[in-house]
Amino acid sequence: MFVKARSLSTQLIVSLGVLLSVFGTLQGISSYHLALVGVNALLDSRLSNVAVRIRDVFEAAIPHRSAGSGNADDIVVMVWTAEHKSPARTTDSSVEFDRNSQGGFSDQIVNHEAWRVYTLVTYNEVIQVAQRIAVRERMAEASAAHALMPIFVLIPAVWIAVYFCVRRAFGVLDRLGRRVQAIDSSHLEALPEKGLPVELEPFVSSINRMIERLDESMKLERDFISDAAHELRTPLTALKLQADNLQGDIVPANRERFQALRHGIDRTSTLVAQLLQLARADAQISTAAPEALDVTELVSSVVSELLPIATQKRIDIGAEELMSVKVCATESDLRAVVKNLVGNALRYTPEGGAVDLRVLADEGLARIEVTDTGPGIPEELLPRVFDRFFRVSQSVEGSGLGLAIVRAIVARYGGSVTLSNREDGVSGLRAVVTFPLLQKAAMSHVVM
């Protein structure tokens, strides 16, 4: 079972965000409780201050008997004297507190309501200042809730700040990742080591050393292919020349065997050439610089080159649709692709058959189609047609390298190649090759 890996930056953002959110929540809870305690202490101080002011200055402002209960949120002031069994002065005649309460703060239940009462005892009177506990709690909770508002704002702000800080810190990794992704055998450029965080320097240095070793290995491979091309072709060419020189001296009885020998030399030369071509394609070695090529012109040129073979087998080779499209590639590469596909179609199409070609532009891609009327390929063998040296029929001459060469070349240019049986009621194969169009071809994929 495969588990999708989470990015390191996402894990860091979530971890820091959750951690800071937990601390912010704990701080908010602490601030809430401290606000409740602080507001209650402030309200208690207010009650005691009012009692002192009443005693010193404002006692005369308290009415003897209040006509109503007044606002429920207001504090209630009550003044007791020795000669009165009921309050001498009160701001709310509907309630009456315990005058025998000890001095200081106390909680009392009056008329089924809880009250916070402050009692101030003087030499000739008792002053009580009270407030409903429900009112105090509502005021304290409202004040505490205001203390929580910054927390609700800061937590989202912290997540946003963490996100941008982490993304900025990981920006250097993103840039390095893009540079590493662009590295291939045609673009072996060391990564920049200046301005990197200290933690990344060993990692980048290791990658650069690997790139150096890979570059040396690719150079050795290119040198080997170049040397092999010379060392293999030279003796084969000499052997062909010697055979040509001997042809006139061969007695009639041995000419059939001589032709078989000559044919074997030609097949060996063709096989060596294809092996070197495949090696160059795999190693992404090109003998020429990419250029703008008209696909239709090149296809027409290849068809003209192979026309004698088609004529000999009485195969009708033609084009259904040829659009003028251009790609960025080397002529030798594009010619090898088209020639291998058309050559395969001619080789497997029986006499009197047909091979049709189309060149189209489709969604930023140049599309080359080669359709024949051959026997087709069993569906179970289709996945193997691009394997090296694989041949569907041993009775048809070939090396089994043509399609492998096509796939290797097309892959270099960011294209694709598919081979499938026809589905229009006619026996045969349809080969489809795509190349990026010139205006959208990424030059980083082109081997210089």
Helices (H), 183-294: 201-246, 255-283
Residues 274 and 317 in one domain: no
188 domain-assigned:
no
Residues 19 and 159 in one domain: yes
Lowest average pLDDT, out of 126-130, 297-301, 328-332, goes to 328-332
What confidence tens digit (pLDDT) does each residue in 58-82 have?
Answer: 666 677 665 555 566 778 888 888 7
pLDDT of residue 140: 82
Reported confidence tier of residue 91, pLDDT bands at 50, 70, 90: confident
- For the chain, the average pLDDT equals 77
177 domain-assigned:
no
Lowest average pLDDT, out of 130-134, 294-298, 377-381, goes to 377-381
pLDDT of residue 135: 85
Tell me, what amino acid is at 107? D
Residues 218 and 331 in one domain: no
Around Cβ 145, how many Cβ atoms within 10 Å? 12
What's the structural domain count of the chain? Answer: 3
Reported confidence tier of residue 213, pLDDT bands at 50, 70, 90: confident
pLDDT of residue 1: 40
Residues 130 and 241 in one domain: no
Residues 249 and 292 in one domain: no
178 domain-assigned:
no
Q: Does 365 score more than 80 pLDDT?
A: yes
- CATH code of the domain containing 247: 1.10.287
**Do residues 398 and 343 make contact, with C-beta atoms less than 8 angstroms apart?**
no
Percent of the chain with pLDDT over 90: 0
315 domain-assigned:
yes
What confidence tens digit (pLDDT) does each residue in 271-290 have?
Answer: 666 666 666 665 555 556 77
Q: Which residue has the higher pLDDT, 235 or 442?
A: 235
Residues 143 and 37 in one domain: yes
Pick from 68, 47, 50: nearest CA to 59: 50
Backbone φ and ψ for 99, nearest 5 degrees, come out as: -70, -15
Residues 31 and 153 in one domain: yes
Residues 111 and 156 in one domain: yes
pLDDT of residue 447: 41
What angle is formed at CA 442 by the lines to CA 441 and CA 443, rounded to 5 degrees?
105
Which of 244, 279, 314 is the last residue before a domain boundary? 279
Backbone φ and ψ for 251, nearest 5 degrees, come out as: -70, 150
Residue 230 Cα distances to 154, 216, 227, 236, 241, angstroms: 73, 21, 5, 10, 16
424 domain-assigned:
yes
Buried b / exposed e along 355-376 (16+ C-beta atoms within 10 A): bbbbbbeeeebbbbbbbbbbbb
Q: What is the mean pLDDT of residues 423-428?
A: 82
pLDDT of residue 88: 79
pLDDT of residue 407: 83
Reported confidence tier of residue 238, pLDDT bands at 50, 70, 90: confident
Reported confidence tier of residue 444, pLDDT bands at 50, 70, 90: very low
| Residues whose CB is less than 8 angstroms from the CB of residue 206 and which lie 6 or more positions away in sequence, other chains included | none
Q: What is the mean pLDDT of residues 252-271?
A: 72
Residue 70 Cα distances to 46, 76, 92, angstroms: 19, 9, 7
What confidence tens digit (pLDDT) does each residue in 311-325 have?
Answer: 888 888 887 778 888
Which of 106, 138, 163 is the last residue before a domain boundary? 163
Which residues make beta-bridge pairs with 423? none
pLDDT of residue 2: 41
Residues 259 and 295 in one domain: no
Q: Is the pTM of this model over 0.85?
A: no
**Do residues 365 and 437 make contact, with C-beta atoms less than 8 angstroms apart?**
yes
Domain span at 326: 288-445
Q: CB-hemisphere CA count at 13 Å for 63? A: 10
pLDDT of residue 198: 76
Q: CA-CA distance, 446 to 243, in Å (whole number)?
A: 41
Q: Does 445 score more than 60 pLDDT?
A: no
Reported confidence tier of residue 255, pLDDT bands at 50, 70, 90: confident
**Do residues 294 and 324 make contact, with C-beta atoms less than 8 angstroms apart?**
yes
179 domain-assigned:
no
Q: Does 442 score more than 70 pLDDT?
A: no
Query: Quick one: tokens of 433?
Result: 């090759």
Residues 112 and 154 in one domain: yes
Which of 247, 279, 311 is the last residue before a domain boundary? 279
Backbone φ and ψ for 125, nearest 5 degrees, come out as: -160, 165
173 domain-assigned:
no
- CATH code of the domain containing 381: 3.30.565.10
pLDDT of residue 270: 67
pLDDT of residue 161: 85
**Do residues 282 and 224 make contact, with C-beta atoms less than 8 angstroms apart?**
no
Q: How far is CA 179 from the centre of its chain?
A: 15
Residues 40 and 105 in one domain: yes
Residues 245 and 155 in one domain: no
Q: Does 294 score more than 80 pLDDT?
A: yes
Which residues make beta-bridge pairs with 126? 80, 121
Supply the Cα-derived Rg of the chain in whole angstroms.
47
Which 3-state string (H, E, C) describes 95-156?
CCCCCCCCCEEEEEEECCEEEEEEEEECCCEEEEEEEEHHHHHHHHHHHHHHHHHHHHHHHH
Q: Does 266 score more than 60 pLDDT?
A: yes
Q: CA-CA distance, 36 to 142, in Å (whole number)?
A: 9
248 domain-assigned:
yes
Q: Is 67 exposed, middle or buried (0-12, 13-18, 19+ CB in 10 A)?
A: exposed
